[in-house]
């Protein structure tokens, strides 16, 4: 309380409104690989905002060779991405890092704004494990994984690959990763030649574009792949019948629509509540937004006043999310609930220095299978009985 020593009128400002919780960004990507100039900014997480900036930093040498990392960054920016971090591993090509030396994915751990991670072209079991473990531990990002360049038998993409295993090609189950098949044919931005390139960079751009135009709650599927002029392998509907339940998202070519993303699943089990990419990424956004927006509450007195503030701020935030179409329900009460009271915070919980809020949300899931049931109909013609 302030101290008053002279008679008079004093006006005090008291914060009485809700402290708004803002939605965190979801479209910043992190790429790890070998740059055209393998000696440029090695083992640094460098922010990139344009293709010109990437060329200036990572391809300034004469006759810079093309790499899958360069094509991935170009595909990301070409498909709607606006900001990414690039880690040039140099000739060592260490993805996970070893010992006390921070390299590869470890350099992206400190960049909190990253929400999408990829190691373009890395399709071996060790790389898959490094990417999935990175995202599972941080819990605020999802990995886009690349398949092998070719798969003569697509059923191999449904079997988990292990070191030394040649018959299986799929990453393990995880709701923090998504796999897309097949590779794309694109015109290389450095050489101008038509080459095959892994799809992760282009897909990261599509995720970012979808976030900007529709929102993170919208499944990033049925979207055109800008820059793709062909596919290394055409996937049939029968083949996708095998791949889709296993969490392998297909990129397909359609006659009139062109090349489109035709899947929106994570690598989670089919029965998992996290089997859709947009559901996993929406929860990542909700969790991080609430955590960052309520940090002011730490060390506040753990009483009913704090509980009311928690309910007020989170309800206001989720109401905005519901109005954006991310939650299912005709009213906010149908879309979510927030409980923070004596029931969730009994004395034993408070004695441990904890305050517990229980939050439930009803998420919108994609219409993955659109079914029209057709049958013959008599047309409602009137009938008349003749005679008696």
Rounded Cα gap, residues 182 and 201, in angstroms: 13
What average pLDDT does the chain have? 92
pLDDT at residue 244 in the model: 96
Domain ranges of the chain: 28-280, 295-378
Residue 383 has pLDDT above 80, yes or no: no
CB-hemisphere CA count at 13 Å for 354?
Answer: 11
Pair 266, 142: CB distance under 8 Å: yes
Query: pLDDT tens across 292-305, in order?
Result: 999 999 999 999 99
Query: pLDDT tens across 31-65, in order?
Result: 999 999 999 999 999 999 999 999 999 999 888 89
Residue 387 has pLDDT above 60, yes or no: no
66: tokens are: 């093309």
- Phi first, then psi, for residue 326 (nearest 5°) are -85, -20
Rounded Cα gap, residues 147 and 179, in angstroms: 7
Q: Average pLDDT for residues 120-127, to the nearest whole number?
A: 95
Decide which of 1.10.3720.10, 3.30.470.10, 1.10.357.10, 3.40.50.11780 is the CATH code for 28-280. 3.40.50.11780
pLDDT at residue 388 in the model: 43
Of the two residues 94 and 3, the one the predictor is more confident about is 94
Query: pLDDT tens across 316-334, in order?
Result: 999 999 999 999 999 999 9
């Amino acid at each position: 309380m302030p101290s008053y020593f002279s008679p008079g009128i004093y006006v005090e400002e008291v914060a009485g409104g809700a402290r708004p919780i803002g939605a965190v960004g979801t479209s910043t990507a992190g790429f790890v690989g070998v740059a055209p100039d393998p000696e440029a900014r090695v083992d640094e997480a460098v922010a990139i905002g344009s293709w010109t900036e990437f060329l200036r930093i990572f391809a300034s040498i004469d006759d810079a060779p093309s790499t899958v990392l360069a094509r991935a960054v170009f595909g990301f920016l070409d498909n709607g991405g606006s900001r990414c971090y690039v880690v040039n591993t140099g000739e060592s090509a260490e993805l996970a890092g070893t010992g006390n030396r921070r390299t590869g994915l470890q350099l992206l751990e400190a960049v909190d704004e990253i929400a999408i991670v990829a190691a373009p072209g890395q399709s071996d079991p060790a790389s898959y494990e490094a990417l999935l473990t990175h995202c599972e531990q941080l819990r605020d990002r999802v990995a886009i994984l690349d398949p092998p360049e070719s798969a003569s038998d697509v059923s191999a993409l449904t079997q988990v690959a292990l070191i030394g295993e040649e018959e299986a090609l799929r990453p393990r189950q995880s709701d923090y990763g998504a796999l897309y098949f097949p590779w794309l044919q694109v015109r290389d931005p450095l050489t101008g030649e038509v080459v095959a390139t892994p799809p992760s960079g282009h897909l990261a751009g599509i995720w970012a574009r979808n976030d900007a135009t529709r929102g993170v709650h919208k499944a990033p599927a049925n979207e055109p792949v800008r820059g793709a002029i062909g596919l290394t392998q055409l996937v049939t509907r029968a083949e996708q019948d095998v791949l889709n339940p296993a969490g392998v998202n297909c990129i397909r070519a359609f006659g009139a629509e062109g090349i489109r993303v035709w899947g929106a699943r994570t690598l989670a089990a089919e029965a998992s509540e996290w089997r859709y990419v947009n559901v996993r990424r929406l929860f990542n956004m909700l969790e991080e937004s609430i955590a960052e927006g309520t940090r002011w509450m730490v060390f506040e007195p753990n009483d009913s006043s704090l509980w009311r503030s928690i309910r007020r701020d989170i309800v206001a935030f989720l109401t905005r999310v519901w109005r954006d179409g991310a939650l299912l329900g005709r009213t906010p009460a149908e879309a979510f609930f927030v409980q923070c009271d004596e029931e969730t915070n009994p004395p034993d919980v408070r004695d441990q220095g904890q305050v517990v809020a229980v939050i439930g949300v009803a998420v919108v899931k994609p219409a993955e299978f659109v079914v029209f049931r057709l049958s013959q109909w008599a047309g409602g013609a009137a009938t008349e009985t003749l005679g008696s």
